[in-house]
């Protein structure tokens, strides 16, 4: 389905560890020729972040405990790994059912000019702010078509900004382009 004359899209899949569909979505996007970040297996043999890696105390936590757990080195490392993948992404794909982190990731993507797609699931409570997404889809096939459409539009929107920053980036990196 991917146009061979275009570079592969970089996709960030926002979902939940509890979502049984997440691995199939990652596989379908990769089979379509895209570069896909899998938070469960972020690469280099690393295991994706989960709260049990940060603390042996199971949530729910008090507000104070939440703040303390978020400041732990393993929590910070997990956050930085996921955020770096989001920054590199052309498209954020939210796969329902999911939680608050996936909603924040989708919102960040919409606000930062990434393409955004939500793969809806049956029997979910509706969320009005899902309307920020570029596409709301109900099947894997529909998702693949939407990812192509919104991803290449997002690449086009972001390309001039990247070119405009090239001299500053070159200076920062200590070289000229």
Cβ neighbours of residue 94 under 8 Å, at least 6 residues apart? Answer: 14, 15, 102, 103, 105, 106, 116, 117, 118, 119, 133
Looking at 23-27, 45-49, 91-95, which range is the least confident one? 45-49
- Report the pLDDT value the prediction gives residue 177, as an integer from 0 to 100: 33
Residue 97 has pLDDT above 80, yes or no: yes
Mean pLDDT of all residues in 143-170? 75
CB 18 within 8 Å of CB 86: no
Return d(Cα 26, Cα 22) in angstroms, integer. Answer: 6
Q: Give the pLDDT band of residue 52 (cuts 50, 70, 90).
A: confident
> Tokens 């009005």 label which residue?
128
Residue 49 has pLDDT above 80, yes or no: no
- Summarised one tens digit per residue, pLDDT across range 72-89 is 888 888 899 899 999 999
> Tokens 């049984």 label which residue?
20
Task: Enter the CATH code of domain 10-172.
Answer: 3.40.50.280
| Domain boundary assignment for the chain | 10-172
The mean predicted confidence, pLDDT, of the chain is 85
What the block records as the tokens of 39 is: 């938070």
Residue 93 has pLDDT above 90, yes or no: yes
- Report the pLDDT value the prediction gives residue 73, as an integer from 0 to 100: 85
- Report the pLDDT value the prediction gives residue 75, as an integer from 0 to 100: 86
């Amino acid at each position: 389905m991917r146009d061979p004359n275009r570079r592969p899209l970089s996709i960030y899949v926002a979902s939940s560890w509890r979502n049984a569909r997440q691995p199939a979505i990652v596989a379908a996007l990769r089979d379509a020729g895209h570069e896909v970040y899998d938070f469960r297996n972020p690469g280099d043999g690393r295991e994706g972040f989960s709260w049990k890696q940060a603390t042996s105390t199971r949530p729910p936590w008090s507000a104070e405990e939440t703040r303390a757990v978020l400041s732990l080195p393993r929590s910070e490392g997990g956050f930085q790994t996921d955020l770096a993948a989001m920054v590199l992404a052309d498209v954020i794909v939210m796969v329902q059912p999911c939680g608050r982190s996936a909603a924040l990731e989708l919102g960040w993507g919409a606000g930062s000019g990434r393409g955004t797609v939500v793969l809806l699931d049956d029997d979910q409570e509706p969320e009005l702010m899902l309307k920020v997404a570029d596409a709301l889809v109900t099947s894997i096939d529909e998702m693949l078509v939407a990812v192509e459409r919104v991803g290449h539009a997002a690449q086009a929107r972001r390309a001039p900004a990247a070119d405009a920053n090239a001299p500053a980036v070159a200076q920062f990196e200590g070289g000229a382009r």
